[in-house]
Amino acid sequence: MDNYDLVVLKTVAICEYGVRTVRAKYIMKGDDDTFVRVDSIIDEVNRIPAGRSLYIGNINYHHKPLRYGKWAVTYEEWPEEDYPPYANGPGYILSSDIGRFIVSEFESHKLRLFKMEDVSMGMWVEQFNSSRPVKYVHSLNFCQFGCIEGEASVLQHEMMITTSVEPPSAGTGEDAQFIW
């Protein structure tokens, strides 16, 4: 059975896979409905000096928990006034040292799990940042609500181009549509 409440545990599993199985320098978490331009992601990561602890994405600073609605959080769940800086939207990248920290903290039962995966990751990165500096990179290439033309690296499903199931028209491009 799969449900949204398991996403935070899947995120820990992604970190474990990244550091133990493939031994990656960087780990990217992306939603299942996103398109990723791998070449652009590699360029983005290569702009940061090697060896830096890194967290790249659509970073939100000083966001407050919503207390009503679909994403409501109670004061019991999150008593703090603000969330830590966290990347929301279609995905983010973190360096493997942060991934190792997350796995280690999880295995020693010290990792605080929160129902919102993106906020959980921000919380874990902030905890790691208290002992080793993290380079937070707010990137407009992680598009959630709109992109700068030619700058998209990661697109959320609402912004992908899709084709209809009908046969394409004679090369006019009329069969392509944006879903927003």
What was the pLDDT predicted at 2? 72
pLDDT at 85 over 90: yes
Q: What is the pLDDT of residues 131-163, one digit of tens each?
A: 999 999 998 777 666 555 555 555 554 444 443
- Find out whether 73 and 81 touch, Cβ atoms under 8 Å: no
Contact 150, 67 (CB under 8 A): no
pLDDT tens across 59-80, in order?
A: 999 999 999 998 899 999 999 9
Is pTM, for the whole model, over 0.75?
A: yes
Sorted by where each begins, the domain ranges of the chain are 4-178
List the CATH code of the domain at 4-178.
3.90.550.50
CA dihedral of 63, 67, 72, 78, whole degrees rounded to 10? 70
